[in-house]
Amino acid sequence: MHRFRSVLCRGTLNCGSSSSNASAAQFLHNSRAWRCLPHPPAPAAVAAPCQFRLFFCRTLILQTVPNVVRIEKLSDSDSGIVDLKLERAEAKNAISKEMLRGLQNAIVEIDNDSSAKVVIVSSSIPRVFCAGADLKERRLMNTSEVEHFVNSLRSTFSSLEALSVPTIAVIEGAALGGGLEMALSCDLRICGEDAAFSMPETGLAIIPGAGGTQRLPRIVGRSLAKELIYTARRFGGREALSMGLVNYCVPTGEAYTKALQIARDINEKGPLAIKMAKKAIDEGMLQVDLASALSIEEECYVQLLHSQDRLEGLAAFAEKRKPKYAGK
């Protein structure tokens, strides 16, 4: 958002000097204190009697909207692990148009980052992962706008699912509707004991429209998925673990630590092998018959035969040392 504000101030008309430019820069970057620039010392004013005068200046203040989706790259021994954080505290990470754009941009950035090896999707907001779609914003949309938004959300989650590197969702607190659909788009899910899951859409006379009707039954089974979607009931972390929705349910507040431990384990392995393993599993599961799926596995394996990483793995094994993979 841009805002113009007019200011009556005392400044220099000699905008070519470095000192005046520095003063002006200091003034323009101070969006909180609307005050005049410091007056020049008396000798300077005498030396340049017409340099300073009262004038009317118009400044452009750029107000940046806080990022609701933030990417953080871990460093040192954790280099290669990327943290994608949801940070819309005032709406419990409800997915608005702005947040949707943030997710789309983040996914594209990660997809184009050759150094990314594992992605952790988490929330910076205590006791909530994502409360689903922003229904307050939804009420202001017409039918075509709603359709466009849901279609965009569905394709965004598909893009998250299609990332070539593993993704881990960290769920502390509520993961409802679109929030649960986002978590389902990740490869792995880790939750705290206080996690709360639900597909509440049928209670609003709609259905999960961002992949929920397809991904949930593929993970927990058709019959159980139907029950959860038909009834829109909430269930906790322990039940989510028992039905296979999450990989681990840990004490409240420890989900991120567990996810980071898994990410570190993945990060030590051959990055090309991890990508091919994900591709073989995901594409193979889409095949109706096992023979076709095994052909995909073969193709993925062949791509690794001539890699430097494969030779490095063999050498490290023979020399009894930790391999140093380059992703080549």
The question of whether 181 is a catalytic residue gets the answer: yes
Contact yes or no for 106/150 (Cβ under 8 A): no
Query: Pseudo-torsion of CA 151, 154, 155, 158, nearest 10°?
Result: -170
Distance CA 282, CA 265 (A): 21
Write down the catalytic residue from 169, 181, 196, 211. 181
Write down the catalytic residue from 116, 133, 210, 255. 133
Query: With b meaning 16 or more CB within 10 Å and e meaning fewer, what string describes 203-219?
Result: eeeeebbbbbbebbbee
Paired sense of beta strands 81-86 and 69-73, if any: antiparallel
Write down the catalytic residue from 201, 209, 225, 263. 201
SS3 17: coil
Alpha-carbon 124 to chain mean position: 11
Distance CA 51, CA 241 (A): 74
Write down the catalytic residue from 80, 102, 178, 192. 178
User: Can you list the positions of beta strands (E) in 22-88?
Assistant: 52-62, 69-73, 81-86
SS3 236: strand
> Phi/psi at 319 (nearest 5 deg)?
-90, 0
Of 201, 203, 193, 208, which is closest to residue 239 (Cα–Cα)? 193
The question of whether 178 is a catalytic residue gets the answer: yes
Contact yes or no for 106/71 (Cβ under 8 A): yes
Contact yes or no for 37/14 (Cβ under 8 A): no
Annotated catalytic sites, by residue?
133, 178, 181, 201
